[in-house]
Structure formats: C-alpha cells, structure tokens
Structure 1
Amino acid sequence: MWRFTAPAQESSVPRTRHAVRDRLLAQGMAGERYQELVDDLLLIVSELVSNAVTHAAVLSPQLHCELEIGPDRVRISVVDGHPYRPKAQESDPARPGGRGLLLVKSVTLQAGGACDVERTEAGGKVIWASLPLPGTGPAGAGRCGDDPDEDPDY
C-alpha cells in the first residue's frame, strides 16, 4: 500500500494526480496495455481529491490518497476527516459542479470495477474505487454513496 498525504487545497489535485501517475508508472503500468486503466485512475483520483478539497477541508485540513495494487486489481482511495457520506448527484445544468461522484461511479462501473464510501475509525470517510487490471475479470459490483446519513449539500 502506497500513501500520499496532501493539504486540502486546490493545488493538491494536480499534485496528487501526478504522484499517483508516477507511482503507477514505477510499478510497471506503462505502455498501451495499461493506458486506459491509468487514465481512468487519474480521472478518479482527480475527482475524489477535488471533492475532498471542496467539501471536507473545513473539518479535514489534510487528505490522504492510498493506492493498492493487487494481483488482479488496483484500488485508489481518498481519505478525509469529514463525517458525512457524499451522494452522486444527477446532472443539473442550473447547479454548477456536483457531478464528480457520478463521473467516478460511471467510469468505475464501465471499467468493470467497484466503488464505495466507508467510515474511518476516526469518524471521517474513505471513498474508493477498485478497477481490474487488464486481462483479469471484473473487480465486482459496487456503489458510491446512497447512505441515509449523507450530507445533501456535499
């Protein structure tokens, strides 16, 4: 498991994305075989870190990105100290933003992966997505959000 800690600031979105990309490449995920997987993971981490910066920074001045590469899957997680679970919002042209988790869910499920939100022991949350490595089976079905105690404004 690899962990990257960053302040809950806008500048952490590209910093975290670049750190994840560098780690994936260092683990041998270069070349055409891994391109779609790497692109999907970088999109997911960008959206999750952006959400943490936008919505959790008041209660969580730092966020943590975790990357775990298994024999048949890659799991990317973003951990923050905000207690409420986010919910994937439907597209609303009148409301800017709010579609990041919907995008994460869509990309994850299209890749044959799984995603979810869990509580941490410290009272925060971890939002994760698990994608299958090329040439392996699906990582399972999952969801993102959909908890009755979620924050409706997240």
Structure 2
Amino acid sequence: MASTQLETLPYRHVLTLPTEPSAVRLARQTAEHALVEWGIGVRHPAVGPALLILAELVTNSVRHAAVLSPTMTVIYAAGPDCLAFAVHDRHPYQPALYGTDLGTGAGGLATVRELVLALGGTAVVRADADGGGKSIWITLPL
C-alpha cells in the first residue's frame, strides 16, 4: 500500500508516549481501544499478530532510541480491508527489516518480519526528512 493510500484511510489515531517501558502496554491498550471503536474485533485473525508486532516495535524504540528520543509517536490507521500502524522515534538508526543480515540481537525484528510476511502485509522503514529519526510502517490486510 502506497503512502498516499495510507493518508486516505478513514480511521486514524496518533499517540505520543515517553520512550520508557510503560509505553509498550499503553500502545497495545490504545490499539485495542481504537480497533474496537473502528469496528475491528479483537478476535479478528490479524489483530493478535498486529498487537505483537506493535509491541516489538515499541520495545525496540524503548531499548535503542530512548537516549536520543525522549518520546515516540505511534500512528494507528485502518480502512475496510487494511490495518496500518507506525512507530516513530528520533533516533537516526534505520534497522533492516528484510534480508539475511538483521544484525545481532534482531530477534524482535525477525519476528516482525515473519509475522508481516505470513499475513501478506508490508513493513517499511521511512527516514525523517532531516535524517534525524525514522518511522517503521506496518500494513496488514484485514
């Protein structure tokens, strides 16, 4: 799904959180509330894996970006056939999501990659215009 299509998804919620461990729980809870509000049941087959992917990405920001990024932003979006979300922080490192070299300690990103591929979704790392941060966008079919 192209970024222009992401911008047109009818449902959207943006949450800014401190880059600390409690962010993982808050990001998941917010996702669950938003999905229910948008009419996407928490028992939908894509929701459990989506929440796990979200938790992994938020955890990575907490573990690796907090020193340069005191806050992170989580963007949630959905449409009739698509669920999308992004985790943004202001650390310039852009992890590789695909390929054989995910780096040392990339267990969480390997899990993200496998879940996204198994669900027929996409995962994209987008650098900020100034190169000082990035967003990891996940798009999953519903």
The verdict on a shared fold, with TM-score over 0.5 as the criterion, is yes
**Is the 1:17–1:46 Cα contact (8 Å) retained in structure 2?**
yes
Runs of 5+ consecutive residues of structure 2 not aligned to the other structure: 1-11
Length-normalised TM-score, structure 2 = 0.82
Structure in which a larger fraction of residues adopt strand: 2
Aligned-residue offset at 1:100: 0.8
Which of 10, 17, 25 pairs up with 1:14? Answer: 25
Q: Within the alignment, does 1:103 sit opposite 2:103 as a pair? A: no
Q: Within the alignment, does 1:118 sit opposite 2:129 as a pair? A: no
Partner of 1:25: 36
Larger CA Rg, structure 1 vs 2: 1
Partner of 1:142: none
Runs of 5+ consecutive residues of structure 1 not aligned to the other structure: 134-154
Please, what is the CA RMSD of the aligned residues? 2.0
Deviations 1:56-114 (A, max 9, x none): 0111000011011123211110000011101358699xx7x431111111101100111
Partner of 1:40: 49
Q: Which ranges of 4 or more aligned residues in structure 1 deviate by more than 4 Å?
A: 88-92
- Give the share of equivalent positions with the same residue, in percent: 38
Aligned-residue offset at 1:14: 0.9
Pairs aligned (count):
128
Length-normalised TM-score, structure 1 = 0.76
Q: What CA distance in whole angstroms lies between the structure 2 residues aligned with 1:103 and 1:54?
A: 16
